[in-house]
Amino acid sequence: MAEAYLETTVWADTKAPINHTYYIEGDKMLAYIRYGTSEPYWFKQPITISRSGRKFQRVDASPFEQDLFLFNPVAPAQEPEVIEVQGSKGAVYLVNLKEQTCTCPGYTYRGACKHVKELENA
């Protein structure tokens, strides 16, 4: 039976990706909810997830099981300021203004991107 888990890993690098909520069955991830959003992303085929060096907390699975997409595991007072931005090819990315991070590929590979710079200068 699949269960939902909020990742609670404390990353050594503060610019590491922020934690998400995962729908896991055994060692296979079926879906996840990106931090700061409420809609699950379902994989076409389950993918293997490594739990090595990571921490998880079991949470209510109803957003996945009942398609109630109203799930946000972080209390509003603790949630950093996250803004959705649209990339040049239409993809949507999350920019964390407090931590100055982005979920786009450019930030992932280079540690910097135009989305953070544009919002920083706004």
Give CA–CA dist 94/14, Å, rounded. 16
51: CB partners within 8 A, 6+ apart = 27
Question: Which contacts (CB < 8 Å, 24+ apart) does range 56-60 have?
Answer: 56/5, 56/6, 56/7, 56/8, 56/22, 57/5, 57/6, 57/8, 58/3, 58/4, 58/5, 59/4, 59/5, 59/6, 59/21, 60/4
Do the beta carbons of residue 26 and residue 50 sit within 8 Å?
A: no
Residues of the chain with pLDDT under 70: 14-17, 66-80, 122
pLDDT given at position 5:
92
Helix (H, G, I), strand (E, B) or coil at 109: helix
Phi, psi of 119 (to 5 degrees): -75, -30
- Domain map of the chain by residue range? 3-65, 82-121
pLDDT, tens only, 43-73: 888 899 888 888 999 998 877 775 434 333 4
pTM confidence score: 0.50
pLDDT given at position 60:
85
